[in-house]
Structure 1
Amino acid sequence: MAADVQPLVKSVDSKSTTADDSLSEVLLSVGQRVRHYRRLHNLTLQDLAAATGLSASMISTVERGQTGISVSTIHAIAQALDVSITALFQASGPGDPVIKHEDQRCDITSGGACRTLAITDPDMRLEFYVYDFAPGTASASAPTTHHGVEYGINLSGHLSVEIDGQEFSLAPGDAVQYSTQVRHLMKNVGDTPAKAVWLNVSRL
């Protein structure tokens, strides 16, 4: 009888080990993305700790992909970094190259625009966004700065892009590029909705 039970026990242990390995991979991936976004915003561990109310050692634990991290901790970090929790858990790779539209999430910016993170790759240090601007909405409530370079293409509607205090008008099909270390802002100045795609490549 023991001989019949032994393979089952081994099977359960094998599944448990696989689950633990999968969890470790997820936590490591989340940690890498937290570090990516923190550096993208030019924040130190202490800066992010102050913004979240967590300790710097806890932030470091998250970035190292350690276990024992609560959902509330991840939520606080996501809010401080101005990204959705789904962006921190978003995963793609050679085995799953397609990120379904239903798996992408629209976040409403402080300027009222819908910003959807379509692709993020911490290793390549890039983020690919789709923006939907209702009339009068913008990428933020005020011009912002951070590390990196951005490339944008206006797909429809009329956008105004402010770069270092200078206004540039984008008609459908127009493209723009600029360093994000200068103050910048995108806004819909037309009477109809506008859609654009934006690529951010960080220089860290």
Structure 2
Amino acid sequence: MSEEIEGVLDAVGPRLRALRRLRGSTLAELAAKTGISESTLSRLESGRRRANLELLLPLAHAYDVPLDDLVGAPRTGDPRIHLQPIHRHGMTFIPLTRRPGGVHAYKMLIPSRAEPAEPTPQTHSGYEWLYVLNGRLRLVVGERDLILPPGEAAEFDTTLPHWLGSADGRAVELLILFGLQGERVHVRPRTP
């Protein structure tokens, strides 16, 4: 087997674990959805078991992703990237990175609403950096309630209760860098 194929196969486990965590799912929930035992899923994610079609097809169906995306198969022919949006809490997240682990980049779209939504702060592990492209973002982090116009950025620990929404009911576009393990964005000043 070629080194390229070995590399693809070795990356399947970490990719599966990262996808499950990104979707906020437990092994038990995924096992119930796919009919694959928790122990088999755990062995797949840790790399102690090689993936096969019998295991990958139910996972691709459960995650609603193409099989190629699930295994990270090398692209052939068409160089275009086919981004798969994620819809969660009435918002759209477009993943801009395709590798498991580390910092992930997303374009987030908050749709317009007749009335601005009431904040419902949530917590989860990780660290987030965001940059407002268009619209006015209302950001609630802990006791702070901020309005960020286009061009402003913020970063915060996501273990603090936080909420993102439109400040005025209009659509908002932003870029997000998210590190599940608490990785932070390091911006360094330019040196002359």
The alignment's TM-score, normalised by the length of structure 1, stands at 0.66
| Native 8 Å contact 1:114 1:132 kept in 2 | yes
What is the alpha-carbon distance in structure 1 between the residues aligned to residue 56 and residue 98 of structure 2? Answer: 23
**Which of 17, 41, 59 is the aligned partner of 1:73?**
59
Structure with higher helix content? 1
Residue identity opposite 2:127 in structure 1: V
Matches within 5 A, 1:125-136: 125-136=102-113
Q: Which residue of 1 aligns with 2:13?
A: 31
The offset of 1:40, in angstroms, is 6.1
Give yes or no for the alignment of 1:147 onto 2:129. no
Taking only aligned residues, the RMSD between alpha carbons, in angstroms, comes to 3.8
Q: Which amino acid aligns with 2:104?
A: E
Alignment deviations for residues 94-129 of structure 1 (CA, whole Å, 9 cap, x no partner): x99xx84x411122222x222100114334x11100
- Aligned residue runs from structure 1 range 102-181, under 5 A: 102-110=81-89, 112-123=90-101, 125-136=102-113, 142-181=120-159
Whole-angstrom CA distance in 2 between matches of 1:143 and 1:117: 22
Q: 1:107 to 1:189 in 2, by over 3 A?
A: same
Q: Any idea what SS the aligned residue of 2:97 has? A: strand
Structure 2: how far apart are the matches of 1:53 and 1:175?
43
Relative to structure 1, the CA distance from residue 131 to residue 41 in structure 2 (aligned partners, 3 Å threshold; closer, same or farther) is closer
Give the gaps of 5 or more residues in structure 1.
1-16, 79-83
**Could you tell me how far 1:182 is from its partner in structure 2?**
1.8
Aligned residues of 2:120 and 2:163 also touching (Cα < 8 A): yes
- The percent identity for this pair of structures is 23
Instruction: Give yes or no for contact 1:150–1:200 (8 Å, CA) kept in 2.
Output: yes
Cα displacement (A) at 1:75: 3.0
Unaligned runs of 5+ in 2: 183-192
Cα pair 1:135 1:192 within 8 Å, conserved: yes
Correspondence for 2:163 = 185
Partners in 2 of 1:41 and 1:148 — Cα distance? 14
Check whether the contact 1:148–1:200 (CA below 8 A) recurs between aligned residues: yes
Give yes or no for the alignment of 1:58 onto 2:40.
yes
How many pairs were matched up? Answer: 172
- CA distance in 1 between counterparts of 2:131 and 2:27 reads 34
The offset of 1:131, in angstroms, is 0.9
Q: Distance between the aligned counterparts of 1:41 and 1:106, measured in 2? A: 12
2-side partners of 1:53 and 1:85: how far apart?
18
Pair member with larger Rg: 1
Output the CA distance in 1 between the equivalents of 2:39 and 2:58. Answer: 16
